[in-house]
A and B are shown apart, each in its own frame.
Chain A
Amino acid sequence: MRGIWRLGLVAAVAAGAFALAMVRFSGAAEEGCAQRLPEDPSYRVQWSQQPSTDLTRYRLSITREGRPVTEAEVCLNSYMKGMSAMAVTDRGREVAPGTYEVSVTFEMGGRWPARVLIAERARPVVAVPVLLEVREAPVPTTSPNF
Chain B
Amino acid sequence: MTAAPTLTPALSEDPTPPPGASRPRASTWAVMRGLLLRDLTVLDKSLGEFLHNTVTQPLLLVFVFTYLFPLIGQGVGGSSEAGASRFASLLMAGLIAQAMAFQGVFRVAVPMAIEIDVTQELEGRVLAPTSVSTMATEKIVFGAILSLFAAMVVFPVAAFLPTTPVYLVVDWPVLLTLTPLACFTSAALGLTLGTVLKPASVPMLSGTLALPLAFGGAIFYTWESLDPVPWLQYLVLVNPIVYMSEGMRAALFTGVPHMSLGAIYGALTGFAVVFTVLGQRGFKRRVLA
* A, B bound: yes
B100 CB to nearest A CB, Å: 14
Tell me if A113 counts as interface (CB < 8 A to partner B): yes
Q: Report the separation of the CA atoms of residues A15 and B40 in the bound assembly, to the nearest whole angstrom.
A: 17
**Can you name the residue of chain B whose Cβ is closest to the Cβ of A17?**
B156
A55 CB to nearest B CB, Å: 18
Asked whether, in the complex, the Cβ of B44 is within 8 Å of the Cβ of A7, the reply is yes
Which residues does chain A contribute within 8 Å of B224, judged by CB atoms?
A: 81-82
Please choose the segment from B79-87, B113-121, B186-194 that sits at the chain A interface, where 4 or more of its residues have CB less than 8 A away.
B79-87
Asked whether, in the complex, the Cβ of B167 is within 8 Å of the Cβ of A28, the reply is yes
Please choose the segment from A44-52, A84-92, A94-102 that sits at the chain B interface, where 4 or more of its residues have CB less than 8 A away.
A84-92
Which residues does chain A contribute within 8 Å of B169, judged by CB atoms?
A: 29-30, 35-36
Among B43, B47, B153, B225, which residue has its beta carbon within 8 angstroms of that of A82?
B225
Which residues does chain B contribute within 8 Å of A81, judged by CB atoms?
A: 224, 227, 257
Which residues does chain A contribute within 8 Å of B149, judged by CB atoms?
A: 11, 14
Please choose the segment from A18-26, A61-69, A138-146 that sits at the chain B interface, where 4 or more of its residues have CB less than 8 A away.
A18-26
Asked whether, in the complex, the Cβ of B83 is within 8 Å of the Cβ of A85, the reply is yes
B78 CB to nearest A CB, Å: 5
Known: A14-B149, A79-B86. A21 touches B156 (CB 8 A): yes
Asked whether, in the complex, the Cβ of B155 is within 8 Å of the Cβ of A18, the reply is yes
Known: A6-B47, A7-B44. A35 touches B254 (CB 8 A): yes
A111 CB to nearest B CB, Å: 10
B75 CB to nearest A CB, Å: 10
Asked whether, in the complex, the Cβ of A4 is within 8 Å of the Cβ of B155, the reply is no
Which residues does chain A contribute within 8 Å of B76, judged by CB atoms?
A: 84
Tell me if B200 counts as interface (CB < 8 A to partner A): no
Asked whether, in the complex, the Cβ of B156 is within 8 Å of the Cβ of A29, the reply is no
Asked whether, in the complex, the Cβ of B40 is within 8 Å of the Cβ of A7, the reply is yes
Tell me if A119 counts as interface (CB < 8 A to partner B): no
Tell me if A83 counts as interface (CB < 8 A to partner B): yes
Asked whether, in the complex, the Cβ of B153 is within 8 Å of the Cβ of A88, the reply is no
**Can you name the residue of chain B whose Cβ is closest to the Cβ of A29?**
B167
Tell me if A122 counts as interface (CB < 8 A to partner B): no
Q: Report the separation of the CA atoms of residues A144 and B81 in the bound assembly, to the nearest whole angstrom.
A: 37
Q: Report the separation of the CA atoms of residues A14 and B154 in the bound assembly, to the nearest whole angstrom.
A: 10
Asked whether, in the complex, the Cβ of A86 is within 8 Å of the Cβ of B152, the reply is no
Tell me if B41 counts as interface (CB < 8 A to partner A): yes
A sample of 5 more A-B contacts (CB under 8 A), given A21-B160, A79-B255, is A6-B44, A6-B47, A21-B155, A26-B168, A81-B227
Q: List 6 A-B contacts (CB under 8 A).
A: A15-B152, A18-B152, A21-B160, A79-B257, A86-B255, A87-B82
